[in-house]
C-alpha cells in the first residue's frame, strides 16, 4: 500500500501531463498538480503516521522550488533539473555515509535482512553513488536533447527501469557473497 502511496504524485503528474492535447502546455498543468499532490501526500502521511518521511519532504521542497520557477518563468528547464538534483542528493548521501556513522547507508537499509562482508557493503554503496550520478547525467542529456514529452516518458519509465535493472544487478552480486558468509559460519 505504501508503495502505491509513494507513487501518487507521479501518477497525478502523468494524468495531468497527458490530459491536454498540447504537451508543451500540459507540463505546466502537470507541475501544478504535482505540487498539490506532493503536499497532499505529506499531509495524509502525517495524519496517518504522525511523522514525516524525509524523501516526501525533499521531493516537495524541490518540486515547489523548481516547479515554481518553471511556472513563474515559463521555462521547463527548471523542472527538468529535478530528477538530476534528487539523484545527486542521493549520491551525496550515499557517499557521505561512507564516512559518517558506522555503516554505509545501503547497509543501514538492508543489514537486517542480508549479511555480507563489510567490503561488499562498501562496494554496493559506491555502486549506488555511481548509479545516482549516472542517472542525473542521463536525465540532463535527455532533458536538453529531446522534447518535453520524451523527457517525461524517460523520467517516469526510463529512470525507473534503469533503477530496477541496477537493483536486480546488485541483488545478483550480493547473492554471490551471501553464500560465502554462510559457508564461513559452518
Query: Do 124 and 98 form a contact (C-beta atoms < 8 A)?
Result: no
User: Average pLDDT for residues 47-68, to the nearest whole number?
Assistant: 94
d(CA 78, CA 69): 6
d(CA 89, CA 85): 6
The reported pLDDT for the residue numbered 116 is 87
Residue 179: pLDDT over 60 = no
Query: Do 89 and 58 form a contact (C-beta atoms < 8 A)?
Result: yes
> Is 98 found in the same domain as 65?
no
| Residue in 60, 58, 81, 86 with CA at minimum distance from that of residue 70 | 81
d(CA 164, CA 182): 27
What range does the domain containing 44 cover? 1-75
> Is 132 found in the same domain as 62?
no
> Is 96 found in the same domain as 71?
no
Name the percent of the chain lying above pLDDT 70.
Answer: 94
How many domains does the chain fold into?
2
In this structure, of 75-79, 115-119, 182-186, the range with the lowest mean pLDDT score is 182-186
79-105 per-position pLDDT tens digit: 999 999 999 999 999 999 999 988 999
The reported pLDDT for the residue numbered 181 is 46
pLDDT band, residue 76 (cuts 50/70/90): very high
Amino acid at each position: 500500500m505504501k508503495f502505491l502511496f509513494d507513487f501518487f504524485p507521479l501518477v497525478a503528474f502523468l494524468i495531468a501531463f497527458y490530459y491536454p492535447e498540447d504537451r508543451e502546455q500540459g507540463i505546466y498543468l502537470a507541475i501544478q498538480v504535482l505540487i498539490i499532490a506532493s503536499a497532499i501526500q505529506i499531509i495524509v502521511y502525517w495524519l496517518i503516521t504522525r511523522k514525516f518521511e524525509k524523501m516526501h519532504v525533499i521531493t516537495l521542497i524541490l518540486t515547489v522550488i523548481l516547479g515554481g520557477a518553471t511556472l513563474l518563468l515559463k521555462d521547463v528547464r527548471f523542472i527538468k533539473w529535478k530528477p538530476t538534483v534528487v539523484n545527486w542528493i542521493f549520491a551525496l548521501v550515499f557517499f557521505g555515509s561512507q564516512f559518517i556513522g558506522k555503516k554505509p547507508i545501503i547497509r543501514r537499509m538492508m543489514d537486517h535482512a542480508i549479511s555480507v562482508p563489510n567490503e561488499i557493503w562498501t562496494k554496493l554503496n559506491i555502486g549506488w553513488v555511481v548509479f545516482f550520478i549516472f542517472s542525473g547525467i542521463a536525465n540532463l542529456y535527455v532533458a536538453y536533447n529531446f522534447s518535453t514529452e520524451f523527457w517525461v516518458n524517460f523520467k517516469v519509465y526510463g529512470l525507473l527501469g534503469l533503477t530496477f535493472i541496477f537493483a536486480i544487478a546488485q541483488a545478483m552480486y550480493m547473492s554471490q557473497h551471501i553464500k560465502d558468509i554462510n559457508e564461513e559460519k559452518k
